[in-house]
Amino acid sequence: MSDLTSKTVMITGASRGIGAAAARAFAAQGANVVLLARSTRAIADLAGEIGRTALAVPCDVASWAEMSRAVQAAVDTFGSLDVLIGNAGMIEPIGPLADSDPDAWGHLIDVNVKGVYNGMRAALPVMTAQGSGTIITISSGAAHRALAGWSAYCTSKAAAKMLTEAAHAEHGDTLRIMGLSPGTVATQMQREIKASGVGPVAQLEWEDHIPPEWPARALVWMCSSAAEDLNGTELSLRDDGLRARIGLTA
């Protein structure tokens, strides 16, 4: 997908951070953007900023019914669904596993894992019928390494990574399915991590994090022919070679 003009890109968790930056980046390339989040006002404001090529759809990604309706709204409005960015995620609860709240722990799994599944499950039939499409899951270093106090988040990201690999195993011959591990990004999530004081990431300063525009640019690049050889892989923006390939510089 070298030309994004008039392609339809759905972004979950689009109200702020990486999601909002990605919406602006894709729109700048001529794409229609479908903005999903529970924050109705935030996505409405962003859609107003972008203009007629943006559609705001209030949605709880943990709800299959809401996710299914959102995909249908995208197709009804723009005629296709060409890219799905599974970005919605949460970090809380942070704290010792033995003291964790079961409801809060389960809610994170609903958002970070079931939300990715619901998006894929709703998008795959549409993309399969079209014969093309790109699905990118926002991953994390936490998918690969357990961190004390982060049991819910690490578990969810590992599960989402495996789900993305399973989707590629089933559909990689016709669709482009990848993951992006952006590293630590200057978003609200980092403020929550900092406030918790738990783990090495909480010790980082704000200026240690990359701006959300970097993963946004990476996502656009991943939807181009330049990333054709990376189908089925998880890209890490910690990789200096990848940053250079995308054109990201400090």
Q: Which helix (H) or strand (E) holds 190?
A: helix 188-196
Is 117 marked active-site? no
Query: How many of the other CB atoms lie within 10 Å of CB of 220?
Result: 20
pTM, rounded to two decimals: 0.92
Q: What is the rounded average pLDDT of the residues 224-233?
A: 94
26, 153, 214, 221: the catalytic one is 153
Q: What is the CATH number of domain 8-241?
A: 3.40.50.720
What does the alpha-carbon distance between residue 88 and residue 85 come to, in Å, rounded to a whole number? 9
Q: Hey, is 40 helix, strand or coil?
A: helix
Which pLDDT tens digit goes with each residue over 39-94? Answer: 899 999 999 999 999 999 999 999 999 999 999 999 999 999 999 999 999 999 99
**What residue segments make up the domains of the chain, in order of their start?**
8-241
Confidence band of 250 (pLDDT split at 50, 70, 90): low
Q: Which of 84, 120, 118 lies closest to 9 in space, CA to CA?
A: 84
Give the DSSP H or E segment for 26: helix 17-28
Q: Cβ distance 50 to 72 under 8 Å?
A: no
d(CA 123, CA 70): 10
**pLDDT tens track for 87-119:** 999 999 999 999 999 999 999 999 999 999 999
Task: Tell me the average pLDDT across 172-183.
Answer: 94
Q: What are the CA-CA distances from residue 114 to residues 28, 108, 235 (Å)?
A: 30, 9, 22
Residues in the chain: 250
- State both tokens at 17: 């951070």
User: What's the count of helices (H) and strands (E) in the chain, helices before strands?
Assistant: 9, 7
226: confidence class by pLDDT, cuts 50, 70, 90: very high
